[in-house]
Amino acid sequence: MSAPVQPRHVAVIGAGMVGVSCALFLQRDGHRVTIFDPNDPGSGTSFGNAGLISQSSVMPSSTPGLVKRIPKMLMDPQSPLVLRWQYVPRLLPWLAGFLANSARDRVERNCLATAQLFGHVMSAYDTVIREAGCGELIQATGSLKLFESEASFQGSAFERAMMDRCGCRYDVLGADEIRQMEPNLAPIFARAIFIPDSRNILNPGRLVETVARAVAEKGAVLKRERVASIDTDASGKPVVVTDAGRHPADAVVVAAGVRSGKLAKQLGAKIVLDAERGYHIMLPRPEKSINRYLQFAECRISLSPKEGGLRMTSIVELASADAPPDFRRIRRLKAQAARVLPGLEPEEKSIWMGSRPSLPDNVPVIARSPRHPGVFFAFGHSHLGMTMGPVSGRIIADLVAGRDPGLDMTPYGAVRPLL
């Protein structure tokens, strides 16, 4: 049995999935927690994502052969990869790291780093579900990745090899099995990869709100203040500086999503963190609908049942988080959704853009700050922050307590070779 944790006051910056999960696990250790966020909990990127708790998405965005494929992808108006050219000068360090991470050995390393966290995702999630009482928001229906042609399925050979190497559980299905699981899809799918352990969150924003409410009911304080910087007092303890004042704490966790890089940089940790922006459209649920999270390989969209309709997500747009959204491409993809699910009306109930907080290798930073022992980093979860929020919270609580998190933490350090 591990030694009892000395209760302390911990400040968490950011009330997204990662921040509220950190708050929940820190509170379980008996700490007094204050969360700083000028916005509502779960109103950032954690609001509009696809809501998949993944057990298979080990592949980073940067994959072998990317350098050769990029010119064609950038010219194709249907491509899910978009580069807003005016941001290229600002994005150069990130783009250089992104391309460097497409080397096969880097991709393998990045897959294994993600997979190691996957091994702890479900147990941490189950703790969050139990403590926050949010089980009704999660469907344990598995997920499907669908392929229209045998050739496109064969094109996923490297991804499947990585999934095998990482120990992901999956089944390959044929057309009949696909029809049995999703009878309302157009009969155009030759193959599918079924991930039985993945889960679908019916309302990601409400899930975060529910967790935030649960930690508040147990005594956490939510301060609606934007953090400008993290200072230290005369004894070396951290002080959170906001527009409203100075707030001393025993420890600080930076979990401010795509805005975390700036705070880390002020602390002397130069982390190449930027936005991989993505979009969703909420569509009305057709009478003949789908049963689970579905990803469509050819048209590069996902569809999933959500409270209030079906959510279509897509696109990796490389641009500043502050750039205005460009909804044209996601709107064009509505035709693809209607093609794969006949009866789906392309009526737009709402539309949204959010910034995935990404390092070029798509591996998050979950670590003590290299220069300030009282500050901890939990950000850069990229495409997988809804999945990895709880496990990151559990690990941060271990690091704050000085406990061994029980996994090799090297891949998640703040200082790592990205180029």
- State the residues that interact with ligand FAD by CB under 6 A: 13-19, 36-39, 43-46, 49-52, 54, 226-227, 255-257, 259, 278-280, 313, 354, 356-357, 379, 381-387
Picking from 18, 46, 22, the residue whose alpha carbon sits closest to that of residue 34 is: 22
Q: Which residue has the tokens 């008996």?
A: 30
Q: Cα–Cα distance between 66 and 316 in angstroms, integer?
A: 14
Q: Report in angstroms how near the CB of residue 258 gets to ligand FAD at its nearest.
A: 6
Picking from 124, 115, 123, 126, the residue whose alpha carbon sits closest to that of residue 169 is: 115
The answer to whether the CB of 374 falls within 8 A of the CB of 238 is yes
Q: Report in angstroms how near the CB of residue 358 gets to ligand FAD at its nearest.
A: 8
Q: In terms of CB distance, is 16 or 238 closer to ligand FAD? A: 16
Q: Report in angstroms how near the CB of residue 175 gets to ligand FAD at its nearest.
A: 26
Q: What is the largest CA-CA distance in the chain?
A: 69
The answer to whether the CB of 294 falls within 8 A of the CB of 144 is yes
Cα separations (Å) of 100 from 94, 204, 417, 418? 10, 32, 10, 7
The CB density around residue 265, as the number of other CB atoms within 10 Å, is 12
Q: In terms of CB distance, is 188 or 216 closer to ligand FAD? A: 216
Could you give the count of Cα atoms lying within 13 Å of 171 in the half-sphere of its Cβ? 10
Strands, E, within 208-320: which ranges?
221-223, 227-232, 238-242, 245-248, 251-254, 274-283, 293-296, 301-306, 309-318
> Which residues lie across from 351 on neighbouring strands?
281
Q: Report in angstroms how near the CB of residue 200 gets to ligand FAD at its nearest.
A: 9
Q: In terms of CB distance, is 18 or 337 closer to ligand FAD? A: 18
Q: Cα–Cα distance between 358 and 391 in angstroms, integer?
A: 18
Radius of gyration of the chain (CA): 21
Type of residue at 88: V
Q: In terms of CB distance, is 188 or 241 closer to ligand FAD? A: 241
Q: Report in angstroms how near the CB of residue 176 gets to ligand FAD at its nearest.
A: 28
Cβ-proximal residues to 380 (8 Å cutoff; 6+ apart), any chain: 260, 271, 273, 357, 358, 359, 363, 364, 365
Handedness of CA 336, 330, 308, 392 (dihedral sign): positive
Q: In terms of CB distance, is 150 or 301 closer to ligand FAD? A: 301
Q: Cα–Cα distance between 62 and 55 in angstroms, integer?
A: 19
Q: Cα–Cα distance between 248 and 263 in angstroms, integer?
A: 16
Q: Cα–Cα distance between 249 and 375 in angstroms, integer?
A: 10
Q: In terms of CB distance, is 15 or 111 closer to ligand FAD? A: 15
Q: Report in angstroms how near the CB of residue 347 gets to ligand FAD at its nearest.
A: 20
Q: Report in angstroms how near the CB of residue 378 gets to ligand FAD at its nearest.
A: 8
Type of residue at 237: K
Q: Report in angstroms how near the CB of residue 120 gets to ligand FAD at its nearest.
A: 14
Q: Report in angstroms how near the CB of residue 227 gets to ligand FAD at its nearest.
A: 4
Q: Which strands, in side-by-side order, build the sheet including 138-139?
A: 52-53, 199-201, 138-139
Q: Report in angstroms how near the CB of residue 93 gets to ligand FAD at its nearest.
A: 20
Q: Cα–Cα distance between 311 and 292 in angstroms, integer?
A: 11
Tokens of residue 73, six digits? 């992808």
Q: Report in angstroms how near the CB of residue 221 gets to ligand FAD at its nearest.
A: 14
